[in-house]
Amino acid sequence: MHGGIAITKDIHWIGVNDRETDLFEAIWPLPRGVSYNTYCVADQKTALIDTVKNGYFPQFLEKIRSILGKGRKIDYLVINHMEPDHSGAVKVLRESFPDVTIVGNAKTKDLLANFYGLTENFLVVKDGEELDLGRHKLRFHFIPMVHWPETMVCYDETDKVLFSSDAFGGFGSLDGGVFDDEVDMSYYEDEILRYFSNIVGRYSFQVQKAIKKVRTLDLNVIAPAHGPILRKHPWHVVDLYDKWSRHEAEKGVVVVYGSMYGNTKAMAEEIARALAEEGIEKVILHDISRSHVSFVIRDIWKFRGLVLASCTYNTELFPPMQALTSALQNKMLKNRVLGICGSYSWSKGALAALLQFGEKGDWEIVGPHVEVCSAPTQEDLESCRELGRNIAAAL
């Protein structure tokens, strides 16, 4: 995909695919890469919507040239979001097109100076303000903390295209298809949820405010900064965001265990079996030592039931489980049914830590709280089964 791809007559996708980066934000695994979507609106005046991560500028420039030719200038660069995976090429773009006017809000201006030392030829826009390109009119809507304070979206009133920044996008490179009717959306929806739950979900209140703004727009296309362009069902992912940011979940249970020698694992498997016997069809087991926390959090966000089972490590919670509970506290997830169980040998600790975690959050805690010394007995396993039955009943 060396050239731009038409979204409408005057609007083209000119993004790039990153299949080399292993960890997004140096945290989140990218097993199938990620796209950095940027767009060109070519009218009487031309506008780019965002740039790409530093290092991908040559591909980006080639696509700009494929749309505009070598002689035509870029009039405006709209920066919806200043995170460097979208703004990384701003400085070199300014060097290539020195007359380009950078468009953003007041907070964008401060971040642009801090990141790249750029302060000249900047147009500050306000919420609801319009930029006239000729036939096309771009209107700006601020959506702060989805997921940075300067984040905004811009809406092309002519072709009814929303350039939505990080909202409504997700992980995964665009491997041939760039539109939702060209790709396997079941895969991308899982990756959109992984993106949302780990990066945006903490700001669910602000997401709800942003959705109210988006609902007022007459949309044909949503063009996010990552992942497929939504033209067949543009409202579908908005509806998913609405559900996720309300902390609504599907019927199912995620069982996460931390086990050094298999004893806590046996407890988790007994709980999972009891859930299945009670008719819970969607049960997911994660070994927290081996499942990356981003996939675990994605599944926890998706399903209403959660079981945390951990061994004790040096009188405290098993470190990978501690990392998970800390991350869940940060995400401020709500409206989940929680079961807990722990094990120990020479000193207790895990169960008390899990109970403390549960009491701090907005969880419906279901008993019994199972605590096992060393290896579970048949009586202990029956208590695990009881916990599984009670969680199924609570769902």
pLDDT computed for residue 69 by the predictor: 82
CA-CA-CA-CA torsion sign (60, 63, 68, 71): positive
For the cut 70, the answer to whether the pLDDT of residue 281 exceeds it is yes
Mean pLDDT to the nearest integer, 211-235: 97
Asked whether 34 and 173 are in contact (CB, 8 A), the reply is yes
**Mean pLDDT estimate for the chain:** 96
What percent of the chain lies above the pLDDT cut of 90? 97
On the question of pLDDT at 70 being above 80, the answer is no
SS (H, E, C) 284-322: EEEECCCCCHHHHHHHHHHEEEEEEEEEEECCEECHHHH
Q: Which residue has the tokens 């008993």?
A: 367
pLDDT at 72: 87
Q: Give the model confidence (pLDDT) of 154-204 as tens digits.
A: 999 999 999 999 999 999 999 999 999 999 999 999 999 999 999 999 999
pLDDT, tens digit (0-9, with 9 covering 90-100), for 259-270: 999 999 999 999
Handedness of CA 369, 374, 376, 379 (dihedral sign): negative
List of domains in the chain: 5-245 (3.60.15.10), 250-394 (3.40.50.360)
Span 345-360, average pLDDT: 95
- Overall size of the chain counted in residues: 395
* Amino acid 71: pLDDT: 77
How does DSSP classify residue 229? B
Do the beta carbons of residue 304 and residue 335 sit within 8 Å? yes
pLDDT tier at 1, thresholds 50, 70, 90 = low
pLDDT surpasses 70 at 292: yes
Query: Which structure tokens are listed for 88?
Result: 């990384």
H or E, element range at 392 = helix 378-394
Q: What percent of the chain has pLDDT over 70?
A: 100
Position 59 scores a pLDDT of 93
> For position 163, what pLDDT does the model report?
98
Residue 108 pLDDT > 90, yes or no? yes
Q: What is the largest CA-CA distance in the chain?
A: 79
Q: What is the DSSP string of 180-204?
A: TTTS-HHHHHHHHHHHIIIIIGGGH
